[in-house]
Chains A and B, each alone.
Chain A
């Protein structure tokens, strides 16, 4: 699992939770997930097709991509 709860103090856990909930850690999570993908069977499939795997997004690109996805559907209720 990507976003597992680290074994830290409750204050540390609160800080970790806050960063996750606010989206502050989203780019780090993305890079971690990508690294995992590149090491997994999806990367093998990607190379087998002879196509280069898409390069990772920069932090700016990722931020804009995240906003575009977040605000293209109902994201806030009444």
Chain B
């Protein structure tokens, strides 16, 4: 396979009539982890939602290509079924829908009926242990009354269960204490693989201590302003964003 795993081409996006993304270009090859860093309000979350096909975001121009296939016009569920995953920064609460029934429904939808229920249950139990989450979690309503850390653990659990080719993590490190950050980051790190890609959106270097990025991008004014290696994140931590934006 000669084509890259994931490619964003000249993406321009509007939200409620206001243009937010102004031509984003990015290529993630198999096995690579890319980080996007940038100030608040520069369009990072808009990019994440657009990649997943959230109906509120209108693509004005450009293409999103997953494993050689143009997915720009696909629905969110079709993108998920093609193994694209978004870990939400603020996952919504859904009262009355248990975590267990939600996970069963999503595993069935993404991985098809080929996974026997007993195998699904065993796999979920194994992942709960890895993430240090009690089994009682499964009977609670989805994200309802969850702490920030519990929400992020559940997003990480879903990522591991759904086994995407390409994962976009939107500030998965926000709202985590030091221990939770370590557990979540280690589980994300071990998810890395030669056939998978990750796009990590973050404000801080701390998560990148665990998930070492191959490429770091600086985001500003709805586009990528600068790209570099892992040392770029350290430079941003030290110098802030002014030097990039002023360049």
A interacts with B: no
Hey, which bits of chain A sit against chain B, CB under 8 A?
none
